[in-house]
Every structure is written in C-alpha cells, then in structure tokens.
Chains A and B, each alone.
Chain A
Amino acid sequence: MTNEDHEALFESLLNGSLPDDEGRFGPFGGRYVPETLMPAIDRLTAGVHRYLPDAQFQQELQSELKSWVGRPTALTHAPRLSDRWGAEVWFKREDLAHTGAHKINNTIGQALLAKALGAQRIVAETGAGQHGVASAAACARVGLPCTVYMGEIDVARQAPNVDRMHRLGAEVVPVTSGDRTLRSAIDEAIRDWVSDPKGNYYLLGSAIGPHPYPYLVRELQAVIGREARTQLLERTGLPDAAFACVGGGSNAIGLFHGFLADRSTALFGVEAGGRGVELGQNSATLASGRPGVLHGTHTMLLYDDDGQIQETHSVSAGLDYPGVGPEHALLQLVGRVEYVTASDDEALAALDECCSLEGILPALESAHALAGAKQWAAANRGKRILVGMSGRGDKDMPILADYPVNRSKGSVDAAA
C-alpha cells in the first residue's frame, strides 16, 4: 500500500465510514466465527445500528453514565510529576469511574443493549477481573444473570476480584483448558455463547473479537477522549501528545478517538514490553507481532511459524493478551498512532513515581502509559502531555507485594 492509500484509509476512518459493512478497518477486522454464531452476529449488528443512535437508548445510557458510573471523570493536572519530567502532565481519570476502571463504560452500555435485544443471560470473560467485576455490576444494575469465565491462574492471582464478582451476583467459572488465562477464558466464553446463540449475550470486554464488537466497544469508550478533549480545551489547550496503554486496546481506542483529527496531537499506544523482546516474554503485539486471525478478527497477533498462538507475559494481567483490536492495527498501518513498549520494571517505577508525587495509585496497566509518557517527555522537553489513567491500582496490591518500594533509591524522594 502506498502513502496515498494509507491517507485515504485514515480519511475513511475520520469520516466514519470504517468499519465498513463487512466489519473491516481496511485490511483488518471482519467476522471469523463458527457458522453457528453468524445469525447471532447479524442480529447483534442490526441491534447496534438500531439502538446506539436511538434517542431513548442514549438518554438511558447517558443517565447511567452520569448518576451510576460517575461521569464525567476528572481531568487532573499533575504538577509535581510535571516538574520532575519537565513537561505539563494531565491525567484523564478513568480510575475514578465506578468499579475503578474504564471497563464500566462498556459494560453498562452493552448490558443495556442486551436487555433491549431480549437476551436471557450474559456471558463474559475476564483476565485480571476488572471487566468481570464491571460486567457483574452492570448485570446487577439491569437485572440480568451473569456468568464470567476466568482462567484458573487468574482466579488464583486475583482472588479479591473473584469475591467482588460473587458479591455482585455473578457466577465465576474457572477455566482449566489452554493457557488458563485471558485467552482461554475468551475461548470458553465463545463456547458458551455457541451453545445458545439466541438466549445468550456475549459481553466482550475489549475492542477485539468479531465485528461489531470492535466498533461497539470503541463507540462506548469514545466518551473518554470526548470528555478529555473538552476538559483540556477549557483548562489549557490541546495536548502535544497523548498516551494510553494497549492490551486489547479499549481504553486507548476510546481516548484516541477524541484526538484523531487533531494532527498536532501525537498519539502513542504503550504495550507491555514485559521482561524482554523474545517471543513469550512480552505482550507487545503491535511492536513485534504479525497479521493473523484469532477470536473472530484479523489483526496483529503473536504467533509462531506454525500459526500457533503464543503465550504472553506482562506483570499487568490486563495487558497479557496475544492480540489487539483491529482498529489499532489500522492506526499503526496508516501511521496515525505510534505503538511503543514499556517493560515490567519501567511500569513499576512509573507506578511508584505517580504514587509518591501525585498521591494516585494507578493500575499496573495504566502505569505502562505513564512509563511511555515519561520516556517521551525526556526526549521532548516542555510539552503538554495527556496520560490515560485507565484504572486504579488497588486490585494490584497482591502483585505489588512482590515489588517492595525501594525507599533508598528515592521513589519516595525527599529531595524532589
């Protein structure tokens, strides 16, 4: 593809004609699902086109976002971190949303949609448990039973979130097949969905999967970027750069969409660099993957020469996924967003710095966005930077216990 082709694709994205009728974002996307699910996918697509623009549906959604989720979330200036980095740093505070992360924007929207479509039951997957908790909460709110599939490794390492899901009335099914983490949980949720495609509604938690999910999730998360842009214009001005962490990429696509047309704002997705660049040591799909098909979509993936999907690593369970949303693959292809990595250690250091300088404990996922921003700020002094604070880090306390704060090295730095 030539530069003109890329520019034309990007223009199509900006003017709203992507995804197209086949669910494609240029070469990426589509609907690679078992035949049993095709009628369900068609029904869901029709439902999305009917209800998302519907005034009554939007009224109900906006009301829930305001009074139940707590939107708009704050835009917070970070003065001490700004001094440290030599930049003007702002946070979009999705960590302040109900249940502690951006996930709730999507789950309440889809739960309302499921209700409107007459679903009897919600099926969801979860990795770290954030989407599971947000699904359980949204299902309780709209009055639908909820089953959450969760890899048994994640069940063990995220026990507090399992308890939260139970309290919120969801059934949590530990998945013992495959890699026993998020990827296997998605496989199992799809198997459940296939068993009754009419009565079940699959509430997918990221901007991945078959069309219309990447579109639906992006539309429900775009509130992040819309709010952030308005808030920045009220208080300071457009940012020179915006950073968001990318696993499947739902908070990133939501943040980026507010700024796609603002070409003066450089956009950066930060993937999990894990322990290193070797296959299996990271979850840096866009940085080191190749095109392939997994979980219903054609996108960038981590797989070996035989086409077998690779196990991934990140200290952050929410980024620990071998694929990425197809729209991110397009944004990388056309060059509108640059995708970089932050290692486990860089993310942990950024988390400590944010805690000690700003009094905010970010999720390990969000700490990757901070680490990416910090690297960029060091090379670009005096710039205005927006960081997507996708979630709060309370859920990560059991993991952080393995990484004690190093006071002598000054993450709590009295001299700063």
Chain B
Amino acid sequence: MLPRDQLSDALKLEGRPSLVAFFTAGYPDRDTFLDVLKEVCSAADAVEIGVPFTDPMADGVTVQRSSQVALENGVSLGWIFDQLAGRDFELPAPVLLMSYLNPLYAFGFEDLAERALETGVSGFIVPDLPYEESGPLKQALDAKGLALVQLVTPATPKERLAKLCSVSEGFVYAVTRTGITGSSEGLPNDVSDYLAAVKSASSLPVCAGFGVREQEQVRRIAEHADGVIVGSALLEALEAGRSPREFLESLRP
C-alpha cells in the first residue's frame, strides 16, 4: 500500500474521531526528539513533525517560539531525516512533515521524496504552497506515493473547495478559522456548517484544526469531521513539562 493511502486509512476510524498531533522537531530539547516522537506516535493517529523555519508567516506565537528555539538547537530538515533513519522503534502512526517551502526547495524535491520514503515519512503539509504553485513538489512526491495534503479554510470559495478536496492526498486539512495557528478564541459559531461543506466535498478523511485546546472542541469538530488536529496546545503542554501522551488522551472524548 502506498504511504499516502496508509495515511488515509489511519485517519478514517469507526466510532471515534482520529487525532493528529503536531510538534516542532527538537523542541523544547533536541536530545529528546525521538522520545517525544515515540510517545506522541503512540497516543495519536497521525503525527505532523514541524520543520523549523526562520519566517513562519502562517503561525502564531507558540509555533514561532518553538521554531526559533529549534533553529537555535541546530535542528534542520537533514537532521530530522537522520534522526528518523536512526530510530530503533517502529512508528505506530503515520508521520508527516510540516514545512514552509524554502527548506524543502533548498533540499531539492527529488532528494526530498527519496529521503522521506527511506525514513518512513508518509507525506507533507506546506502552509505557503497553494495548489497552483505545487506542481514540481507534487510530481516528486507522487513518484514515491507520498501525500501532499491540501488545506482549505472558511474563506475558500465553493468551487475552489471542491477542487482542493479532489486533489488533496492523505486527508483534507480544514482550517477552522481565518488567521494564524494557536488562536485562543475557540471555534467560530458556524464551524458546523463549514465542516459539513468540506466533508461533503471530500472523499478523503477531513481533519480540522487551528486553535484546538479542549475536549469540548474536539467533540464539536468530531460531529462533522473525521479527525482533529492539535498543535500549539501540545507544544504548550511540552513546554510545561506535561506528558504528551497524557495531554493527548485528555482531549479524546
């Protein structure tokens, strides 16, 4: 089975919402990266590993802070691949890389796809790469069966929503509000209508996130979507020294 199909299967569960967890590689500590990964992987249904970047323009303060610290810790895309290659455990959940485009571009798309496949990465989420610009990366990832996940937002017009849902791979990332990651404002009132629209446009699992912090929000999203994405709140739990497994399990309804 292709990595992108394994990803889809892992996120479409019977009877309960799937949980996608994001954390920045090498944050808060570089040395504990694989330990954190192992634990997050055991508690989540899929994991997004954040590749730090100097200019994370779609991210709020929490991801910005984690990105900056990770860079100071010497984390790079090449380092992440080396760590993944050197792990001594199986990944119980599919792993994606979430990265702004320039680190991927600098690595080279062909090499990127090759190295991702070798190290057990299933796909990519690239927040500054709209579908129109994604051709060269998508081609390289397609050749290895890797997913390029498309994002949709409440501002996405209907026709564009249908288009993005049809070309996404792995799952559809439904951003629950306009703005940046890590909002503390909770879910917008009309989130149900929006998620229902995304769900009806997509044959892939729909996972929703941006500002998810509480079990109640997970419950509301799960009424319409297949899964929930948690990022900034997990980083804050890591910062506070909480066990990532415990935190993620506390979110499950």
Please list the residues of chain A having a beta carbon within 8 angstroms of any beta carbon in chain B: 22, 30-36, 38-40, 177-179, 183-184, 186-187, 190-191, 194-198, 292-296, 301, 303, 305-309
Contacts and interface: CB of A to CB of B under 8 A. Distances in A.
Contacts of A301: 102
A306 B106 contact: yes
A178 B57 CA distance: 11
A197 B178 contact: yes
Contacts of A191: 57-58, 60, 179-180
B117 interface: no
Nearest to B52: A308
A195 B157 CA distance: 17
B175 A36 contact: yes
A32 B127 CA distance: 9
Interface residues of B, number: 40
B132 A31 contact: yes
A301 B71 CA distance: 19
Contacts of A195: 178-180
B128 A32 contact: yes
CB-CB nearest 4 A-B residue pairs? A307-B106, A307-B103, A306-B76, A195-B179
Contact of B104 (A33, A39, A307, A309): A307
A38 B131 CA distance: 10
16 contacts: A22-B132, A32-B133, A34-B57, A34-B128, A34-B151, A36-B175, A36-B179, A39-B156, A39-B160, A197-B178, A293-B102, A293-B105, A303-B102, A307-B103, A308-B103, A309-B55
A30 B175 contact: no
Contact of B133 (A31, A40, A186, A303): A31
Given A31-B133, A307-B103, A294 B55 contact: yes
Nearest to B173: A35
A308 B152 CA distance: 27
B167 to A, nearest CB: 12
A293 B101 contact: yes
Contacts of B152: 35
B68 interface: yes
A303 B107 CA distance: 12
Contacts of A305: 106
